[in-house]
Amino acid sequence: MNISWSPAEQAFQQEVRAFLAAELDEDLQAAGRLMTSVYAEHEASMRWQAILLKQGWLAPAWPVEYGGCDWTPAQHYIFASEQAKAGAPPISPMGIRMCAPALIAFGSEQQKQFFLPRMLSGEHFWCQGYSEPEAGSDLAALQMSAVDDGDALICNGGKIWQTHANEANWIFCLVRSSKEARPQQGISFVLIDMHSPGVEVRPIVSLSGEHIQNQVFFTDVRVPKTQVVGQLGEGWTVAKYLLEFERGGTAYAPLMQVRLAEIRAAAQRSGAIDQPLFAARLAQTEIDVGNLEYYELQTLCLLAEGQSPGSNASVMKILGTELQQAVTELGMELAAEYGRAYQPQAGRPGGPISYPHGEQFSGPAGAALAPLRYFNERAGSIYAGSNEIQKNILAKAALGLT
């Protein structure tokens, strides 16, 4: 595997750096640098989305005819890496990186023409409706019903852990349109206007005090059949396809390398770097993240050769989220007594703070951010299919176990 960039890729890297230097103002950089979860502050994220749209780089993975870029896998990785290094706030993945690929693969031409431009412009802001109180990792156990009513489906039930449902005006949902012998059968993938009568959003406040997650209830919500993606009753196929993008569509290493560099610099200033155990843990985490980067680059090589990443997506999801948690643990250890305080005002969270504490905070900003990031990253090994589920996938796909 050749991991050095070609002259053309180096030229592209310089182009990306020049663009970021010109377009990322101090406020946008602060929104990226002071994130407390995997989601940026909504207003900053949408402003950055508009800038990327103008540049033509908002949805590089889409086919060119729908607004994407004809980039190589290496260019995609370079772009993601340079954005992380520059402190750019990430855009929400729900529409552009998750629902859109499913629409492009399974949607009707009418659906593509209507929804895709509105995803790009930000007119439509999306959330995901998969998990239910009794159907999380075992997603096929979902029970939200969709009863046939002529040209529409009447939906009843509830979804939980909907990121940014409080901001979204559209949600893509898995619903049970019929009961079949296998639970994966009889599931449909539908698009629902959040302003439809019968849709209710209730907030879920996280341990970090942020309102990012929600529970959504549907009572006799009428959904036109024109908003079913793919065939009625065959939504499981669409859902599995979408999950490949949710699990394997992230380059984890670049942002972790930025965070580790911040931790190392803070440890040098405080003298914590002279503590042998802390220094050893920091060095080991840096090595592990470096190994993950090589694995991500190896996956790029497979994609460049036209091969499927296969089980690599599950490996990257496991390693990426576990290492994200390890980085936050180092941050908590370095924060020491400042890590005990609840100081959400130190960050730029991905949602409203339910218990604000003014503007001032005690201690270094990194120390005040540490517990907020620590609590948020606890969810990393659960969302997008828990890591236990990913290990089962690997056991079957890579080891042949049943």
| 246 catalytic per annotation | yes
Distance CA 200, CA 221 (A): 10
Judge whether 393 and 311 are in contact, CB under 8 Å.
Answer: yes
Distance CA 247, CA 340 (A): 32
- Check 234, 246, 333, 377 and give the catalytic one: 246
* Burial of 246 from C-beta contacts in 10 A (0-12 / 13-18 / 19+): buried
Distance CA 258, CA 86 (A): 9
For the CA atoms of 87, 89, 95, 101, the dihedral, rounded to the nearest 10 degrees, stands at -10
Distance CA 356, CA 169 (A): 26
The two structure tokens encoding residue 292? 């993950």
Q: Residue 141 corresponds to which amino acid?
A: A
Distance CA 153, CA 175 (A): 10
Q: Residue 326: CB partners within 8 Å, gap ≥ 6?
A: 285, 288
**CB count in 10 Å sphere of residue 261:** 12
Distance CA 129, CA 196 (A): 15
Distance CA 345, CA 343 (A): 5
Judge whether 238 and 188 are in contact, CB under 8 Å.
Answer: no
Strands 228-229 and 126-129, how do they pair? unpaired
Judge whether 372 and 64 are in contact, CB under 8 Å.
Answer: no
Catalogue the active-site residues: 246
